[in-house]
Amino acid sequence: MQVELFIPCFIDQMYPETGFNTVKLLEKLGIEVIYNPEQTCCGQPAFNSGYRKETKNMAKKFMNDFPGDRLIISPSGSCTGFIKNYYSQLFTSEEKEYEQYLSLKNRLFELTDFLVNHVKKVDFGAEFPHKVTYHDACSALREYGIKREPRELLKHVKGLELIEMEENDTCCGFGGTFMVKHKHISTAMTEQKVEHALKTGAEYIISTESSCILNIESYIRKNNINLKPIHIADILTSGW
Number of domains making up the chain: 2
188 and 98 in one domain? Answer: no
Q: Domain residues for 169?
A: 131-236
Q: Judge whether 137 lies within some domain.
A: yes
- Please say whether the beta carbons of 5 and 233 come within 8 A: no
User: pTM here?
Assistant: 0.93
232 and 147 in one domain? Answer: yes
- Please say whether the beta carbons of 210 and 231 come within 8 A: yes
136 and 111 in one domain? Answer: no
Q: Judge whether 125 lies within some domain.
A: no
Q: Judge whether 105 lies within some domain.
A: yes
CATH number at residue 97: 3.40.50
Whole-number Å distance between alpha carbons of 208 and 161: 18
Q: What are the tens digits of pLDDT across the range 57-106?
A: 999 999 999 999 999 999 999 999 999 999 999 999 999 999 999 999 99
228 and 190 in one domain? Answer: yes
Q: Judge whether 147 lies within some domain.
A: yes
Q: Which of 53, 86, 118 is the last residue of a domain?
A: 118
Print the SS3 string covering 168-223: CCCCCCCCCCHHHHCHHHHHHHHHHHHHHHHHCCCCEEEECCHHHHHHHHHHHHHC
Q: What are the tens digits of pLDDT across the range 15-45?
A: 999 999 999 999 999 999 999 999 999 999 8
Q: Judge whether 124 lies within some domain.
A: no
